[in-house]
Amino acid sequence: MDQEEKQEGLAPDKPTKETFVKRSRDFIQGAVGGITGKDLPVLVEDFTREMTVVAEGLAEDQARLSDALRLQGEGQDHQAEKVRQGEKRISELERQVADLQKKVGRKKEGKPGISQILKQATWLAAILAAAWVITTLVNTFGR
């Protein structure tokens, strides 16, 4: 009876062991098949397809970044030109202020400007003309 019980006890265990062994063998064969390249062409095709998608995405990103960089560069060039024009205008205004300060300083000191010199020259010419007229009249009527 001991033998029969053992055989009866082994009978249900035998299919479980066979399925376990079969699953283990399938797992090992799948691992070995992956290593040996059994499905290698399919894997390579999948990898290539995925890498193509990634490369296309990177190319689009790079194109967008390049456009953004170009636009930013143009904007910076435009701003730099505005700054140069502003600096030119400031230097021109500084020169004009310096000229005005010189004129104000001369007026305060009493130094003659161009208009003052012209006024003095006009008066001098008028005096000389009057002297000439008087001299001519004295010479004409004084004889």
User: What's the pTM value of the predicted model, to 2 decimals?
Assistant: 0.38
Tell me whether residue 3 is in a domain. Answer: no
Tell me whether residue 55 is in a domain. Answer: yes
Same domain, 85 and 135: no
Same domain, 69 and 83: yes
On the question of pLDDT at 40 being above 60, the answer is yes
Same domain, 32 and 75: yes
Looking at the 3D structure of the chain, how many domains does it have?
2
pLDDT of residue 45: 84
Spell 106-139 as b/e; 16+ CB within 10 A means b: eeeeeeeeeeeeeeeeeeeeeeeeeeeeeeeeee
Tell me whether residue 72 is in a domain. Answer: yes
On the question of pLDDT at 138 being above 60, the answer is yes
Same domain, 36 and 78: yes
Average pLDDT, the chain: 81
pLDDT of residue 38: 59
| Domain hosting residue 140, numbered range | 112-143
On the question of pLDDT at 137 being above 80, the answer is yes
When pLDDT is averaged across residues 58-69 and rounded to a whole number, the result is 94
Tell me whether residue 66 is in a domain. Answer: yes
Same domain, 40 and 87: yes
Same domain, 103 and 124: no
On the question of pLDDT at 5 being above 90, the answer is no
pLDDT of residue 17: 66
